[in-house]
Amino acid sequence: MIRAKKKFVVGAGELDQYGHLNCEALKRVLRPSQDALLASRGMTFSAACGPGKFIKRLSIIWLAQLKKGDKCLVVTSLTLGKTDIVFEQRLTRKGSLAVSYITVLTMVGNGRKVPIPMEVKRRLST
C-alpha cells in the first residue's frame, strides 16, 4: 500500500443547496489527491489505469457534513490486487473522520478482466 496526504479547504463552489459539500463536488475534490499519489510514483492516472478499466465499486460513507471553510486532510491510499486498483480516501476534519470514499477500478481487455501490467505493479508497489 502507498499513501499520500493533502490539505483541502471546502470552498463555496463545492456546496449543495443546503450549504454542505456536494456529493458530485466530492469526486472533483478527491481526484487531484489520486493524481498526486500516482505522480509521486512517476505515473499519471491514464498510465496507471489505462484505457481498459471500469469502476467495479464506488462507496461513499458520510460521517459528518462538511461546510464552507472547513479545513480537511485528505489521506489517499492505493492498494493493488490481481486485476484491481483500489483507492481509499479519508477526509478528516479536526482529526475526526468525516467521509470515507473507496473506488475500485478493474482492468479489462477484450471484454474480460486482465492482470494489472507488471510495470504498473512495479511502480505502485510499496
Q: What is the pLDDT of residues 14-41, one digit of tens each?
A: 999 999 999 889 988 899 999 999 999 9
CB neighbours of residue 115 within 10 Å: 12
Q: Which of 65, 97, 70, 79 is nearest to 34 (CA)?
A: 79
* Residue scoring higher pLDDT (3 or 100): 100
Provide the pLDDT for residue 53: 82
pLDDT at 64 over 70: yes
Read off the CATH number of the domain in which 64 is found: 3.10.129.10
The total number of structural domains in the chain stands at 1
Q: Which of 52, 44, 47 is nearest to 119 (CA)?
A: 47
Domain of residue 103 covers 2-124
